[in-house]
Amino acid sequence: MKNNISRRDFLGNTALVSAAMMMPAFLRATGNNLTAFNGKRLIIVQLTGGNDGLNTIIPYSNDLYYSNRPDVGIKAGDLIRLNDDLGFNPAIESFSDLWEKGSMSILNNVGYPNPNRSHFRSRDIWHSASDENHIINSGWIGRTFDLQCIGSNCALPHQAIEIDSSLSLIMRGEKFNGLAMDKPMELAQGLKNPVIKTFSTLDINDVTSNQDFLYKELVDTYQSAEYVVSKSKIYSSKIIYPQTEFSKGLKVVSELIVSGSETKVYYLSLNGFDTHVAQQNVHAKQLRTLSEGLKSLYTDLKQNNEWNNTLVLVYSEFGRRVKQNGARGTDHGTANNVFLLGGNLNKLGILNELPNLKDLNNGDLKHSVDFRSVYATVLKKWLNVNPSIILGREFPMLDFIV
């Protein structure tokens, strides 16, 4: 035994320990930064529930849009026109500045073959980058960091942070798992516990037993938590973010970025997009939360000269059906639009063809862009990783990044 503190002491103290137990092995490699940080970071935002893309980027010049949506359709006089065919939902007015300043691109008709309309399964497909009929128990971001593992030594856990209390599939690899946290201060509270501090001083160079391994887990957790907490104290944003949980999470991300955290990937989700009933008010509220939060992030990073090193990917697990339902809402659909935001985009504006409302698949939009082409482009051109290794095969490259 290396210490008189028991496993019971270990398991019975602090949220920091609880986090370590819920996310096994996500902090085993503190101090082994295998890939140099090049300053670029990716922020992934998932709109959970199935965002209605047709009511987000509205094809107002198409009469079929209004004939299919007599109640939920956004009137042409209310929207923010982007060109002669498409317009912003007025609830995402905050995106207008990003659009006008060349910090936004939009992909239409993004999806995958044989789409699944289950929230859970389609979310897992997007997280794992799998085919519809193939179960993969790791995420595409987790596998990206798996490539950096040598034996039991993997990339730093805080190189991939999810702003949440638990870790999603997207951030889980075979060897590497990212770090999930709501706020750095929650980690800081755990660091103050005297039992945790005692464990942090243990000598773990000779890991020979299960108990020693447990000690090592806690030491690594402590050290990585210290890193995040120390970075969080460097910069406190003066930008006024909206008082929503989503925007509070974006503020944490911005403060870590400006503070110099070597985190390569951040992941956040915004719930509330499953709009089966009385859609308009609910959908507008969620879109406003999204756009106002990301506008604040943009302002913060732009003022601190970090926007050009940032790429934001916004997607939802599926879109909604073209025709409204009887409850003045929309049901689960298929293809959807994807937002790309950043200061270093290669191609701006609307990147591809409009949704085809004449040629539908049983009432749903047909996809023309596989979402894994988006991933492949991000992996190769932004994260400098061979996408075929992560995704299992080749996918066409897109040109939204140089």
Q: What is the pLDDT of residue 161?
A: 93
Contact 376, 387 (CB under 8 A): yes
Distance (Å, whole) CA 58 – CA 79: 8
CATH architecture for residues 42-146+154-180+237-391 = 3-Layer(aba) Sandwich (3.40)
Q: What is the pLDDT of residue 20?
A: 43
Burial grade of 236 (CB within 10 A; 0-12, 13-18, 19 or more): exposed
Distance (Å, whole) CA 230 – CA 219: 16
Instruction: Give me the residues paired with residue 42 across strands.
Output: 265, 311
Pairing of strands 41-47, 349-350: unpaired
Q: What is the pLDDT of residue 188?
A: 65
Q: What is the pLDDT of residue 197?
A: 62
Q: By C-alpha distance, which of 119, 109, 57 is closest to 86?
A: 57
Burial grade of 393 (CB within 10 A; 0-12, 13-18, 19 or more): exposed
Residue numbers in the chain where pLDDT is lower than 70: 1-36, 152, 187-193, 195-223
Contact 184, 158 (CB under 8 A): no
Show the beta-strand stretches assigned E in 126-248: 160-163, 179-181
Each residue's pLDDT tens digit, 247-302: 999 999 999 999 999 999 999 999 999 999 999 999 999 999 999 999 999 999 99
Neighbours of 271 (CB within 10 A): 12
H/E element holding 378?
helix 371-381
Q: What is the pLDDT of residue 283?
A: 98
Q: How far is CA 370 from CA 107, 123, 201, 337, 341, in A?
A: 11, 15, 49, 11, 19
Pairing of strands 336-342, 104-111: antiparallel
Instruction: Give me the residues paired with residue 349 across strands.
Output: 105
Residue 317 CA, distance from chain mean position: 12
Contact 333, 111 (CB under 8 A): no
Q: What is the pLDDT of residue 187?
A: 67
Q: Domain ranges for the chain, please list them.
A: 42-146+154-180+237-391
